[in-house]
Chain A
Amino acid sequence: MHPPISLIWFFLTAGVSIGLFTFTYFMEFLILFGKNTAMPRQAVIISLVISLILIGLGAIGASFHLGHKMRAWKAIKRFHTSWLSREAVFSGVYGFVLFLYGLAYYFNANPFIQHSLGILTFVLGWLSAFSTAMIYASNKFVLEWNTSLTVLYYLNMYLMLGSSAFLSLTYFYRPEFIPTYLFLTFLFVSLGLAFRIAFNIRQFIIPRPTINEALNLPHNRPIRVLDTGTTTNNYCTEEFYYKKGKDLLGSVLPVAYILTFIVPLFLIVYAWITGNYNYNFFKIAFASLVLGSFLERWCFFVEGNHVQNLFYGLYPEEGYRLRKGYMERKKTVIRL
C-alpha cells in the first residue's frame, strides 16, 4: 500500500496528544483517591496546550490526504457504519472537550466539572485512537492489517509516545516520578517491540489467497498474467503496490526497529539502572521514538498487500513477478 504521509503525521500528532493527555489527566485523577500526584499547575497547562495544538495540527495535516478538504465536515455523516467517520467525530470532539477541560482547569472550575470533562476527554481520545486503528484492522482485504494485533499495537504506540513525552515533564516538575515513568515507558516500548515482532512474524504465516482464488479458477491450473490492459501503472497499481517502497522496505524496517525500540529502550534502561537521570537521555529517547514511529508507520503501509494486486500478479505468493511497464519479456529457458 502506498503510505500517505498526512496519515502518518496524524498518527504522530494524535498519538502524542492523546498519550500525553492520558498521563497528565491520570495524575490529576489519582488525586481523587488521596494520592499526592498533582503536577504543578504550570506543567498541566503546558501539557494541555501541547495536546491541544498537536491534535489541531493533526486534524489539519490529515485533511491533506483528502481530495476535497473543504468537504471534510461531511465525514460525520456515516457514523453508524464507517470507522473513518467515527474517527473524524471522536477526534474532533476530543479536541473540543480537551479545550473545555483546559478552560475548566485554568479557571479552577468546580472539581466535579473538571473531572467530568477530564474523563470525557480521556474516553473520547481513546475512542478516536481505537477508531483510527479499526480503519486498518477492519480492512479484510489487506491481510497484514486485518488482525486485532493492529489495534493493540496501535493503542500501545500512543501509550509509548505519551509516557515518554510525560517523562520530560516529570523531569522538570516532579523528579520523584521519574522512576515511575521510566518504568512505564520501558513497559510500553517493550510491549510495542513484542507486538511489532508478532506483527512481522504473522506476515509469514497468514494463509494468503492465490490468483486462482481471485479468478475463481481451479487450484491445479497454473495461471500467468500476460497483460494488464495498460502498458504503464495506473491508480490501482500505484495505490496498492508501492514498488519504490517495497524495494526500500528491507533497509527502512531495521532502522525503524532501532529508532523506535532499541535506542529508547537502551537509554531508558541505562538511566533506570544507573540512576543517572540526564535530561538529554529522555530528549533523545523521545525524539528517536517519534522518528522511529514515523518510519515504522511508513513500513506498516508498505508491508500491507492488498488482494486486488492478485489481478496484476503483484502479490507475495506470486513472487512480485511483474515490474513497472509490465511489458518486460520474461527470460525463457529451454532445457533439452
Chain B
Amino acid sequence: MAQFALVIDLNTCVGCHACATNCKEWNTQAAFGPLSDFDPYGKEPQGVWYNRIMTYEMGEFPNTQVFHLPKSCLHCQDAPCVPVCPTGASYKREQDGIVLVNYDDCIGCKLCSWSCPYGCREFDEADKVMKKCTLCIDRIYDESLPPEHRKPACVLTCPAKARFFGDIEDPNSEVYRVIKERNGFVLFSDAGTNPGNHYLPRTETKVHVDEHLLKHDNPLFLEVLRRHHVGG
C-alpha cells in the first residue's frame, strides 16, 4: 500500500521556519483553510499551524550540537487518531496513506488530539474543528500544476532542500532510497504508530578545543580549560 510522507534531513535543516511559514500561507488560502490566528498583535499571539519547528541542543558543553526538528502530522501507518474519532471525520486514505479530517463531520471533541503522541493536531477555535497537515493534498493531485510543483508547499519552499516527499513504500522513490541509505528514523518509535514521516539523522561531529584557539578574555575560558583537562 502506498504511503506518502515527508523525509526531513536534520543535517540540512537550518531552522529558518520557511516551511512553517509557507505551509501557513498556502493552507490559509487553499482548500483546507483558513488557519485562524488569535490576538495577532497582542502580547501572546496564537494561531493554528500544521507545521512547527522545535530546536534542541544535544550533548554537553563544549561538545554540543543544535538541531532543528520540523514537526507536522506524521501520517502514521497505524494512526491512533483515526479509530478514536467518534464520527469518522478523521480518516486515512487507502490509496496514499494520507490522514485527513473531514471538517463537515468533525464535532470538535478533541479526542484525536488526545490520542496523538506527537501533538500534531490543532483545534481551530474559530472554525471549532480539528485541523492538521494534509500533505498539501490539494497541490499534489492538482493536474493544472506542472509536475515539479505537485509537492507539499513546505518541500517546495525549503531553501536548504532539507525536505523530500514521496511514497516511502515505493522502492523506486527518492524517499525510499534516502531512508534506506541514510538510516532514516521516526519519532517515538516505541509508540507503535509506525509514522510515515522520517528524519535523516545528523552526522555527529566531535569538537576538539585547542588551548591556542581560545581567547583569553572569554569569560568561559577557565571553564573550558577545566572541562577539557578533566574530561568533564
Q: Does A232 contact B123, Cβ atoms closer than 8 Å?
A: no
In the complex, A130→B116 CA distance in Å?
22
Q: Does B45 contact A232, Cβ atoms closer than 8 Å?
A: yes
| Stretch with Cβ within 8 A of A (4 or more), from B84-92, B139-147, B151-159, B162-170 | B84-92
Q: Does B117 contact A85, Cβ atoms closer than 8 Å?
A: no
Shortest distance between the CB of A335 and any CB in chain B (Å)? 8
In the complex, A316→B219 CA distance in Å?
33
In the complex, residue of chain B having the shortest beta-carbon distance to the beta carbon of A142: B114
Q: Report the number of A-B residue pairs with Cβ-Cβ less than 8 Å.
A: 172
Q: Does A75 contact B87, Cβ atoms closer than 8 Å?
A: yes
Q: Which residues of chain A are near B117, meaning CB under 8 Å? A: 141, 214, 306-308
Q: Which residues of chain B are near A77, meaning CB under 8 Å? A: 86-88, 105
8 Å CB contact of B187 from A72, A74, A215: A215
The answer to whether A194 has its CB under 8 Å from any CB of chain B is no
The answer to whether B173 has its CB under 8 Å from any CB of chain A is no
Q: Does B83 contact A78, Cβ atoms closer than 8 Å?
A: yes
In the complex, residue of chain A having the shortest beta-carbon distance to the beta carbon of B43: A232
Assuming the contacts A67-B128, A77-B88, asked whether A221 and B58 have C-beta atoms less than 8 A apart, the reply is yes
8 Å CB contact of A223 from B58, B187, B188: B58
Assuming the contacts A81-B83, A84-B84, A139-B115, asked whether A68 and B52 have C-beta atoms less than 8 A apart, the reply is no
Assuming the contacts A229-B52, A232-B45, A239-B123, asked whether A84 and B106 have C-beta atoms less than 8 A apart, the reply is no
In the complex, residue of chain A having the shortest beta-carbon distance to the beta carbon of B60: A222
The answer to whether B6 has its CB under 8 Å from any CB of chain A is no
Q: Which residues of chain B are near A209, meaning CB under 8 Å? A: 188, 190
Q: Which residues of chain B are near A311, meaning CB under 8 Å? A: 54, 69, 71, 118-119
In the complex, A215→B82 CA distance in Å?
23
The answer to whether B178 has its CB under 8 Å from any CB of chain A is no
Assuming the contacts A141-B191, A233-B46, asked whether A67 and B129 have C-beta atoms less than 8 A apart, the reply is yes
Q: Does B186 contact A216, Cβ atoms closer than 8 Å?
A: yes
The answer to whether B107 has its CB under 8 Å from any CB of chain A is yes
Q: Does B58 contact A84, Cβ atoms closer than 8 Å?
A: no
Q: Which residues of chain A are near B187, meaning CB under 8 Å? A: 214-216
Q: Which residues of chain A are near B199, meaning CB under 8 Å? A: 216
Shortest distance between the CB of A271 and any CB in chain B (Å)? 42
The answer to whether B185 has its CB under 8 Å from any CB of chain A is yes
**Chain B interface residue number, banded:** 35 or more
Most B CB atoms within 10 A — which of A1, A213, A227, A235? A235
Q: Which residues of chain A are near B55, meaning CB under 8 Å? A: 225-229
CB contacts under 8 Å to A, within B187-232, are 187-191, 199, 219-220, 222-223, 226
Most A CB atoms within 10 A — which of B88, B89, B185? B88
In the complex, residue of chain B having the shortest beta-carbon distance to the beta carbon of A224: B57
In the complex, residue of chain B having the shortest beta-carbon distance to the beta carbon of A80: B83
In the complex, residue of chain A having the shortest beta-carbon distance to the beta carbon of B199: A216
B91-131: CB near A (< 8 Å → 1, else 0) gives 00000000000000111111101111111001100011110
Shortest distance between the CB of A317 and any CB in chain B (Å)? 14
8 Å CB contact of A66 from B107, B118, B189: B107
Assuming the contacts A141-B191, A233-B46, A334-B223, asked whether A82 and B86 have C-beta atoms less than 8 A apart, the reply is yes
In the complex, residue of chain A having the shortest beta-carbon distance to the beta carbon of B84: A82
In the complex, A140→B188 CA distance in Å?
13
Q: Which residues of chain B are near A221, meaning CB under 8 Å? A: 58-59
B59-85: CB near A (< 8 Å → 1, else 0) gives 110000010010100000000101111
8 Å CB contact of B53 from A135, A223, A229, A312: A229
Assuming the contacts A84-B111, A214-B187, A311-B71, asked whether A228 and B119 have C-beta atoms less than 8 A apart, the reply is no
In the complex, residue of chain B having the shortest beta-carbon distance to the beta carbon of A63: B107
The answer to whether A217 has its CB under 8 Å from any CB of chain B is yes
Q: Does A229 contact B20, Cβ atoms closer than 8 Å?
A: yes
Q: Does B188 contact A216, Cβ atoms closer than 8 Å?
A: yes
The answer to whether B49 has its CB under 8 Å from any CB of chain A is yes
Assuming the contacts A66-B107, A75-B109, A307-B188, asked whether A228 and B52 have C-beta atoms less than 8 A apart, the reply is yes
Shortest distance between the CB of A61 and any CB in chain B (Å)? 14
The answer to whether A88 has its CB under 8 Å from any CB of chain B is yes
Q: Which residues of chain A are near B84, meaning CB under 8 Å? A: 81-84
In the complex, A311→B187 CA distance in Å?
10
Q: Does B56 contact A239, Cβ atoms closer than 8 Å?
A: no
Shortest distance between the CB of A237 and any CB in chain B (Å)? 9
Shortest distance between the CB of A75 and any CB in chain B (Å)? 4
The answer to whether A329 has its CB under 8 Å from any CB of chain B is no
Write 21 A-B pairs (CB below 8 A) sorted by A numbering. Answer: A66-B108, A75-B86, A81-B82, A82-B84, A83-B84, A84-B84, A84-B109, A141-B116, A213-B190, A216-B186, A216-B188, A225-B56, A226-B55, A229-B17, A234-B49, A234-B122, A235-B46, A235-B123, A236-B113, A308-B117, A334-B223
| Further pairs besides A306-B119, A311-B118: 9, Cβ < 8 Å | A67-B130, A74-B105, A74-B107, A221-B58, A228-B52, A232-B44, A234-B49, A234-B122, A336-B222
Q: Closest 8 A-B residue pairs measured CB to CB?
A: A67-B108, A67-B128, A308-B119, A81-B83, A85-B86, A75-B86, A236-B119, A232-B44
